[in-house]
Amino acid sequence: MESSRLPRQAPEPRLNLLERVGLAGMDGWLAFSALGLLACSLYTLYEASAANIVGAPEQYVQRQALYGLVGIVGMIAVSRIDYSRFRELRVGIYTFLCASIFAVFAFGVAARGSTNSLELPFFTFQPAELGKLLLILALAGFVIDGARRGSEGQRTIRILCLGLVPTGLVLLQDLGTSLVFAGITFAIMVAAGVRWSHLAAIGVVLAAFVAFVLVALPAAGTPVLKEYQQERLTSFLSPSSDIGDAGYQQNQAKVGIGAGGTTGRGDQATQSRFGFVPERHTDFIFAVVAERYGFVGAALVLSLFALLFWRALRLMTLSKNFYGTLVAAGIAAAIIFQVFVNVGMNLGIMPITGIPLPLMSYGGSAIISTFLMIGVLQSIHIESHAAQRSPWID
Amino acid sequence: MRIEPVIPRPRKKRSLPSRRFAVIGAVGLILLGILFFRLWSLQIVTGDKYLAEANQNRTREVRVPAPRGRILDRDGNVLVDNRTSMALQLDPIEIPTEPAERRELFTRVGEVLGNDADWVRRKYLDSIENDPPGSPITLDRDVDDDIVYYLQEHQAEFPEVQVNRIFVRKYPQGLLAAHILGSIGEVTAEDLEENPDKDLAAGDTLGKTGIEQTYDDELRGSPGDTRLQVDSTGRIVSQLPSTMPDPGDSIRLSINEDVQVAGETSLQSIGLPGAFVAMDVNNGQVLGLGSNPTFDPSIFTRPLTQKQVDDLYDEDLGAPLFDRAIGGQYPVGSIFKPITALAGLDGGYISPSDVVNDAGTITIADQEFDNAGKQAHGPVDLRRSLEVSSDVYYYLLGADMNGTRQLQDWAGNFGLGKATGIDIPGESEGLVPTPKWLNEAHKEEPDYYDPWVIGQNIQFAIGQGYFQASPLQMAVAYSALGNGGSVLKPQLYLQTEDAAGRVLKEAEPEVVSSFEMDPAYRQDIMDGLHDAAQAPEGTSYKVFGGFPVKVAGKTGTAERQPKADQAWYAALAPADNPEIAVIVTVEEGGFGADTAAPVALQILQAYFDKQAKAVSGGTGSVE
């Protein structure tokens, strides 16, 4: 064979190249799934603006691409840092997290019905988006920190309280994000090995609390949730025909998804094109994908999330230390929780909570923060034993 | 033998991360599984249903009004046509329920139209009260272009306001035949209820009076549907294939425009309330029919003001909306005499050659009955009695026939005392008095009705007393005299034509009833009527003496206390073989020869002029 006579190429230069650009040791499938989802997001936004979808101007594509670029750079930068450093900074991170959420109370600006953003030069920043990652990093640190102190019950309550403080603060601004915070706290407790009995007790208390807030207090005349929040939460149970009503919009998204069929309607996608589907570039972007590209397109997006979830979760066992295990579990749970709530909302089986679809929904804070999470995961991978065996794809 | 103690090998416990990894992974997989299943069920299993729902979602069906058929005269001249108009309508679905918001909308819309919120509110309440639910609320028609453009440019601010192209009736001949044509109006809730088979919808128009009402099914056409693709705010994105509206068919009337114009203008020139009817004696086609004073039919194309409505019914203005030709009930005076004569001849009460000495007055049953102005006509036979219109001759006949139904039966033979069946609504039945009827009426209302005495039959014999008929009924009666005994249904309808002018249906003459009439007696009466019109001593000689066509005509001067006498004229022409019957009446017009006969002359002149033109190719004249 002619090829055999050619001089063998040593793997060295490739390694050097990856090292030079700072990609060595990364989890390729993880990067692939994240970049794939960003690509899906950009393609959908591009097609949507090309098809003159109501409320989808071209600037969404351009800006989303810019956010993606910033996010990718951030991901690479974070992946070069040993994530274990974050454990040492846990108190600082936690303080910053709470302070940034407090800052919203002081200087926040309203966006889409809730005040959850800070107006920065060139950029409207939502601290709670980055807060998801900060909470994971800090909470995981506190778990390790207190692993040997106090009884098991005390430890459980300590983690729970540390998690619920920012959750409660965010709840006052944005219901959806606070649910993600709660989900993260719960997932880290599961990964940390908190007794099942404790977790079950927390579950019971939580259920009672939710029932109290949603049913008992409004019945007693002191609603905790704002009226629109309550309506959004319960409307998916009874789709309404009243235009402008939350249930109507959600039902329209469902109709659009159903109408997409197997292969989608392309530019004939009237539900998303003519504005029946609300928040087409943000909360309901999945409905646009599903209507335009059908089951094929929507399943591709879900599969990419499945891949991302699996690669993230896998790091739990590959991590060089328990901190990495907890962080990986928190990030994997945060992503899958958001996917389930957002896509479930699109499909009409979850309430409207305003949680963006990670890496898909338009929005700088969410895109960049999610890429930073991926960066932390990459860091765990690079530091793990797996990375020592295979530098690129193992 | 030593038995090695079985030391249980420590079970290999999986590490904490891998145990908890499995839990979180399983939960994640279940969640993803739920999403996949739901996606599959929505898109693959029930996708068609949602596709249909999505397709229906973005279309809005709009009823496109069909242009209404035209109304033509017998020569094809257009009496009623359509024009398009921009109507400003509120979509009832879009109107807020919140009173403050509604008020705000009314104020904004009113401002654009140059009116205040109350004006809009009145229109709104009016529509809610009268129109079927869901009808667009028409605020104004014939809206200025400026306003239309303004609203189109600011559509986003006025999602509740629609500017729709509607069809409005137009009347190229102005006031001509106003009483015949009738008017159209928006469908009411009752209309919908009463006509479930008519495919009517809120916002449609319907014929409400006249020909528009009678032939509404032909004229209305069927509306089309435009399917519009709309976005979620209802903004129109594009138009989808639609069903075109099917224009209504045209109705051609038997109206002879020359006759109609002559009748209306000459009647108007007299300036008194009156009516005329011209009818083809052989087939019942109405050649002209009018009532004075008249009105402008186009006022019904816009909402009427209260003053306009009041004026239409105002007695002091002559109640212009009232069609005296078909709805007026009057004593007819001497034009009734030919019927009395036929009744007397038929019953053997008199023969044509019997002579009565007319001294100008006669006393029967202690009551004195006079000729007009007590004028004595000397010896009169049948023919002479008609020529000079001797009342005494007929007083005696009436007296002789009292106690029998002879006169009443013969009035009935001529179609009097019941509706003629003309194809426009609003006709009256008139009244043929009988002893039985009057005595019963007297029992019920003694102050108002006297009991029957011989004087009633005597008055009836000259078309007075309780006897009443409409001009149309008299036209039908004279037509029966002219055609030898057929009471015809008067018809305005000639034929139905489609938009391209093809004839779809034609009128057929309808004989309501017929009776035997001795031709010799009829001839005597026709001779007498001819003398009355064209013999030097005839009552209307000064009007018809020089008319080139042989006319049989009778004047009438009916007493209507306390009003002044009502003038009548009845004519059949040509006298030898009548084609046309003309009846003219002028309220408070005095002697028939003075006011009614000249109008009849104009009508006959127009009729025969036109006939001559048609024969000679448009150059001839009767004179």
3-state secondary structure of A383: helix
DSSP codes joined into one string, B126-183? HHHHHSPTT--EEEESS--HHHHHHHHHTGGG-TTEEEEEEEEEE-TTTTTTHHHH--
For B55, the closest chain A residue by CA position comes to A270
Contact present, B127 and B137 (Cβ < 8 Å): yes
**Contact partners, residue A138, CB within 8 Å, separation at least 6:** A90, A91, A93, A94, A97, A162
Of B32, B47, B230, the CB nearest to A302: B32
Q: Is B39's CB within 8 Å of A347's CB?
A: yes
Q: Is B232's CB within 8 Å of A275's CB?
A: yes
Q: Are residues B222 and B294 in the same domain?
A: no
Contact present, A353 and A337 (Cβ < 8 Å): no
**Strand arrangement, sheet containing A123-125:** A108-111, A114-120, A123-125
Q: Are residues B126 and B196 in the same domain?
A: yes
Q: Is B232's CB within 8 Å of A262's CB?
A: no
* Cα dihedral B614/B618/B622/B623 (nearest 10): 180
Q: What's the rounded Cα separation, in Å, for the pair B207 and B505?
A: 20
pLDDT, position B10 = 56
Kindly indicate the confidence band of residue B620, based on its pLDDT and cuts at 50, 70 and 90. very low
pLDDT at A377 over 50: yes
Return the H-helix or E-strand segment holding B79. Answer: strand B78-90
Helices assigned H by DSSP within B250-381 = 257-270, 306-313, 324-327, 337-346
* Cα dihedral A65/A69/A70/A73 (nearest 10): 170
CA A68 from centroid of its chain's CA atoms: 14
| CA distances from residue B574 to A213, B157, B281, B517 in whole angstroms, order as listed | 100, 70, 11, 19
User: Which pair of structure tokens corresponds to residue A299?
Assistant: 């399943």
Q: What's the rounded Cα separation, in Å, for the pair A329 and B27?
A: 12
Q: Are residues B85 and B224 in the same domain?
A: yes
Contact present, A25 and A15 (Cβ < 8 Å): no
For B235, the closest chain A residue by CA position comes to A274
CA B225 from centroid of its chain's CA atoms: 29
For residue B50, which residues of chain A lie inside 8 Å, CB to CB? 254-259
pLDDT at A390 over 60: no
User: Of B237, B253, B269, which residue is a domain's last?
Assistant: B253
User: Would you say residue B21 lies in a domain?
Assistant: no
For A348, the closest chain B residue by CA position comes to B38
Instruction: Name every residue in B having a CB less than 8 A away from some CB of A.
Output: 15-18, 20-21, 23-25, 28, 31-32, 34-36, 38-40, 42-44, 46-51, 53-55, 57-58, 229-233, 237
Buried residues in B1-28 as b, exposed as e (16+ CB within 10 A): eeeeeeeeeeeeeeeebeebbeebbebb
CATH code of the domain in which B229 resides = 3.90.1310.10
The owner of tokens 């007009």 is B372
Contact present, B475 and B277 (Cβ < 8 Å): yes
Taking the CB of residue B75, how many other CB atoms lie within 10 A of it? 12
Which DSSP category does B196 fall into?
A: T
pLDDT at A18 over 80: no
Q: Is B42's CB within 8 Å of A347's CB?
A: yes
Return the H-helix or E-strand segment holding A366. Answer: helix A364-383
pLDDT, position A204 = 92
The residues facing B572 across adjacent strands are: B552, B581
Give this complex's ipTM: 0.87
Q: Give φ, ψ of B4 to 5 degrees.
A: -65, 120
pLDDT, position B83 = 87
pLDDT, position A115 = 67
pLDDT at B556 over 80: yes
Kindly indicate the confidence band of residue A393, based on its pLDDT and cuts at 50, 70 and 90. very low
CATH code of the domain in which B414 resides = 3.40.710.10
Which DSSP category does A246 fall into?
A: H
Structure confidence by residue, pLDDT tens digits, A260-277: 888 888 877 777 777 777
Work out the average pLDDT over B135-141. 77
**Contact partners, residue B449, CB within 8 Å, separation at least 6:** B438, B441, B442
Q: What's the rounded Cα separation, in Å, for the pair B454 and B401?
A: 9
Q: Is A252's CB within 8 Å of B57's CB?
A: yes
User: Would you say residue B66 lies in a domain?
Assistant: yes
Q: Are residues B370 and B487 in the same domain?
A: yes
User: Would you say residue B50 lies in a domain?
Assistant: no
Contact present, B501 and B542 (Cβ < 8 Å): no
User: Which pair of structure tokens corresponds to residue B242?
Assistant: 């639609």
Kindly indicate the confidence band of residue B260, based on its pLDDT and cuts at 50, 70 and 90. very high
pLDDT, position A53 = 59
Work out the average pLDDT over B100-108. 83
| CA distances from residue A57 to A11, A70, A253, A256, B155 in whole angstroms, order as listed | 46, 21, 20, 20, 22
Q: What is the CA radius of gyration of chain B?
A: 38
User: Would you say residue B132 lies in a domain?
Assistant: yes
Q: What's the rounded Cα separation, in Å, for the pair B528 and B124?
A: 64
The tally of domains found in chain B comes to 2
The owner of tokens 């639910």 is B133
Contact present, A276 and B58 (Cβ < 8 Å): yes
Return the H-helix or E-strand segment holding B81. Answer: strand B78-90
User: Would you say residue B20 lies in a domain?
Assistant: no
| CA distances from residue A392 to A32, A305, A383, A387 in whole angstroms, order as listed | 12, 21, 13, 7
For residue A333, which residues of chain B lie inside 8 Å, CB to CB? 24, 28
User: Which pair of structure tokens corresponds to residue A233?
Assistant: 């939460």
User: Would you say residue B24 lies in a domain?
Assistant: no
Q: Are residues B171 and B265 in the same domain?
A: no
For A269, the closest chain B residue by CA position comes to B54
Kindly indicate the confidence band of residue B46, based on its pLDDT and cuts at 50, 70 and 90. confident
pLDDT at B534 over 70: yes
Count contacts between A and B (CB, < 8 Å): 141
3-state secondary structure of B567: strand
pLDDT at B623 over 50: no
pLDDT, position A228 = 64
Contact present, B534 and B574 (Cβ < 8 Å): no
Q: What's the rounded Cα separation, in Å, for the pair A27 and A391?
A: 9
User: Which pair of structure tokens corresponds to residue B231?
Assistant: 């976005």
In B316-475, the DSSP E strands lie at: 356-358, 361-364, 367-370, 378-380
Query: What domain range is B75 assigned to?
Result: 60-253
Q: What's the rounded Cα separation, in Å, for the pair B603 and B584?
A: 10
Is the pTM higher than 0.90? The answer reads no
Residue B427 backbone class (left: φ over 0; alpha: ψ -120 to 50; beta: rest):
beta
User: Of B234, B253, B272, which residue is a domain's last?
Assistant: B253
Q: Is B35's CB within 8 Å of A322's CB?
A: no
Return the H-helix or E-strand segment holding B219. Answer: helix B216-220
For residue B33, which residues of chain A lie inside 8 Å, CB to CB? none
Least confident of B4-13, B520-529, B596-605: B4-13
Number of H helices, E strands in chain A: 18, 3
Of the residues A236, A295, A380, the best mutation for testing chain B's interface (the one with the most B CB atoms within 10 Å of its CB) is A295
Nearest-Cα distance to chain A for B43, in Å, is 4
| CA distances from residue A245 to A248, A279, B499 in whole angstroms, order as listed | 5, 14, 49
The owner of tokens 């100008």 is B360
Q: Are residues B184 and B146 in the same domain?
A: yes
User: Which pair of structure tokens corresponds to residue A249?
Assistant: 């919009």
